[in-house]
């Protein structure tokens, strides 16, 4: 009986949330029919007071409506240059990825103590994820182009393929298949691909209409 009651309660809560979201979208549509555009903060505040709903839920609902193309959200002060975009919250993924790649390179010179555990962890990430991830981000710069699961799976598959190609290439050079040349080339290619991905994301950002509701 308890489980049945819990299930009914959960379903009721989900239904209430769905109803609230529909009400929020309806209220936003009504406001936009009266005025062409509204600042997101004031729009959310107004709807929150009007229907007695949490402001955070209003903002989340409007963001979901944007994803389904019901509204357009345009930033009041868009980033006009690649440098500004790179140092904005939109570029945070880039710096995290580049730092992780550089740490992977630095740790190849560590062989003992606690650093060796970090070395194994970062080298594994470099070999099976980061190179492919950089190529996937470059190929699919928009989040909604493919699912997160597909993005992760492609990153692993492409990384393994790229590592094999790097090894094959180095095999025909005087450097040979050794740790430092392999990791150096992988890190260099990964950072180049990340930079190209950042450029493509910036291009998509400039074309997108992302913090006034329209």
Backbone angles phi, psi at 177, to 5 degrees: -90, 85
- Statement: residue 154 has pLDDT above 90: yes
Does the pLDDT value for residue 209 go beyond 60?
no
Question: What secondary structure letter does DSSP report for 144?
Answer: G
Q: How far apart are CA 39 and CA 25, in angstroms?
A: 15
Q: Which of 19-28, 111-120, 130-139 has the lowest mean pLDDT?
A: 19-28
The C-alpha atoms of residue 186 and residue 201 are separated, in whole angstroms, by: 22
Q: Give the model's pLDDT for residue 8.
A: 37
Q: Which two tokens stand for residue 6?
A: 């819990």
**Following CA atoms 164, 134, 99, 163 in sequence, which dihedral angle do they give, to the nearest 10 degrees?**
0
CB atoms within 10 A of CB 163: 18
Supply the pLDDT for residue 67.
63
Lowest mean pLDDT across 7-16, 90-99, 151-160, 180-189: 7-16
For 29, the token pair is 């549509």
pTM of the model: 0.66
Give the tens place of pLDDT for each residue, 44-96: 777 777 877 777 777 777 777 766 666 666 666 677 888 988 998 889 999 99
Q: Identify whether the C-beta of residue 97 lies closer than 8 Å to the C-beta of residue 189.
A: no
Task: Report whether 70 contacts 26 (CB < 8 A).
Answer: no
Provide the CB-side half-sphere exposure for 175 (13 A, CA).
14
Residue 212 β-bridge partners: 39, 74
Q: What is the pLDDT of residue 35?
A: 64
Is the pLDDT confidence value at 170 over 80? yes
Strand partners for 73? 213
Selection from 49, 79, 44 nearest residue 65 by Cα: 44
Region for 2 from its dihedrals, namely left if φ exceeds 0, alpha if ψ lies in -120 to 50, beta otherwise:
alpha
pLDDT tens for each residue of 59-72: 777 777 766 666 66
The structure tokens listed for 165 are 């190609």
């Amino acid at each position: 009986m308890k489980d049945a009651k819990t299930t009914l309660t959960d379903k009721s809560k989900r239904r209430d949330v769905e109803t609230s979201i529909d009400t929020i979208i309806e209220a936003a549509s009504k406001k936009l029919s009266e005025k062409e555009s509204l600042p997101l903060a004031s729009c959310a505040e107004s709807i929150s007071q009007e229907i007695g709903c949490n402001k955070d839920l209003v903002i989340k609902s409007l963001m979901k409506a944007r994803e389904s193309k019901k509204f357009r959200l345009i930033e009041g002060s868009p980033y006009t240059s690649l440098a500004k975009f790179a140092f904005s919250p939109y570029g945070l993924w880039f710096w995290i990825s580049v730092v992780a790649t550089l740490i992977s390179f630095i740790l190849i010179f560590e062989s003992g103590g606690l650093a060796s555990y970090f070395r194994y962890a970062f080298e594994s990430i470099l070999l099976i994820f980061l190179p492919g991830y950089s190529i996937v981000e470059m190929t699919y710069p928009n989040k909604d182009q493919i699912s997160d699961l597909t993005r992760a799976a492609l990153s692993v598959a492409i990384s393994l393929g790229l590592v094999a190609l790097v090894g094959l290439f180095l095999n025909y050079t005087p450097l040979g298949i050794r740790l430092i040349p392999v990791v150096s080339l992988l890190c260099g290619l990964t950072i180049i691909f990340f930079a190209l991905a950042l450029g493509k994301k910036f291009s998509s950002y400039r074309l997108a209409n992302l913090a006034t509701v329209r």
